[in-house]
Amino acid sequence: MAIKIKISDQTSIPKYEQLANEIIRHIRAGRLALGDKLPSIHEVTYNYDISRDTVVMAYKVLKERGIISAKHGKGFYVSSTTFSGKLKIFLLFDVMNGYKEVLYRSLVDSLGPDYQVDIYFHYYNIKVFEQLIANNLGKYGFYVVMPHFNEDVSEAVNLIPRDKLLIIDKDILSAESDYAAVYQDFENDVYDALKEAGPYLKKYSNLKFISNHNFQFIPDGMERGFNNFCREHKVKHKVFNDIDSSVPSKGDAFLVVSDHDLIELIKISLKKKWELGKDIGIVSYDDTPLKEILSGGISVISTDFRKMGETASGMIKNRTFIRKANPYIFIQRNSL
């Protein structure tokens, strides 16, 4: 059946996505029925001055959505007329919390209504992480994976086809390199943010990093960035596993990652009648709306999770296979 395809240069929508949407439009309008043959890749390329790669990508997307199927040596055919028209995305997080919700909402909103995002959680369990990936291979058109482990998980990640994979929040340097990633550069972000905070840290005699792995994943890069900053700027410092072992005292400044440790420090300060930003200082990792008002405002080092979601969405839509560090921010508030 002959159909007319409309492709525009006056839009930011990629041409492969426009072509896929045109096929969907004709199916919904009844101009393409179940079992009808689609124009060949050559025909579309010749008739509409579109590159072969663009047509291949569009047909691939339609196949992933279950809308068309290929018959070897015969071409592409409509395989479903009752469909949502949405590309299904497998999203694997560690846990859901305040800032992960910002990331999730940003990703979903930026993708728009043509994408269906199914979210899973591994809860820092490598076996669960590996099983979730293995059990869902071939079921989704794209895989967005948050590998929050200091151990090497590249073997499990490498099972996912490169052209369907996006690593988010933490990169996997040992994995094959030709995949999309938008991630935090934890080592350099911590170093640079502490450098920005330097003028506020000068009034404290010690800088203590609470690296408590019982409540939250803490990348090794954070500790390296902390130690590098302190050594290079001759700051008295130490890394502790928990609040108790750090023996909080007047004149201490703290870098804390988990909200549990943040609350413990605030409780200790209230009990001892210490004033935040004067008697002790606190810098928390990852911003949330609550930290803007808690105890008059908690200073934070944070990546821009809204920006991360927007960047991830763009990579998925445009099939951009690059690795990109997400920008960090340091926000000075009352606690430092």
Its pTM surpasses 0.75? no
How far is the first Cα of the chain from the last one, in angstroms, to the nearest whole number?
69
CATH match of 186-303 with 3.40.50.2300 = yes
Q: What tokens appear for 161 in the block?
A: 């086809």
pLDDT at 178: 74
CATH match of 15-78 with 4.10.95.10 = no
SS3 244: helix
pLDDT at 88: 86
Pick the CATH number of 87-184+305-327 from 3.40.190.10, 2.60.120.380, 3.30.200.20, 3.40.50.2300: 3.40.50.2300
pLDDT at 10: 83
| Same CATH fold assignment for domains 87-184+305-327 and 186-303 | yes
pLDDT at 319: 79
Find, among 324, 302, 304, the residue nearest to 314 by Cα: 324
pLDDT at 163: 82
Spans of all domains in the chain: 15-78, 87-184+305-327, 186-303
Do the beta carbons of residue 241 and residue 270 sit within 8 Å?
Answer: no
Do the beta carbons of residue 31 and residue 1 sit within 8 Å?
Answer: yes
Q: At what angle do helices 186-201 and 220-232 cross, to 10 degrees?
A: 40
Enumerate helices (H) and strands (E) in the chain, giving the number of each.
12, 14
Could you tell me which residues are beta bridge partners of residue 282?
254
CA distance 318 to 324: 15
pLDDT at 67: 85
pLDDT at 314: 93
Looking at residue 195, its amino acid is: K
Compute mean pLDDT per 10 residues along the chain, 336 residues long, and list them: 82 85 89 91 90 91 83 86 77 90 95 92 95 89 92 91 90 72 96 97 96 85 96 96 95 95 96 97 93 96 95 90 92 97
Looking at residue 257, its amino acid is: V
Residues whose CB falls within 8 Å of the CB of residue 246, separated by 6 or more in sequence, listed in order: 208, 210, 238, 240, 252, 254
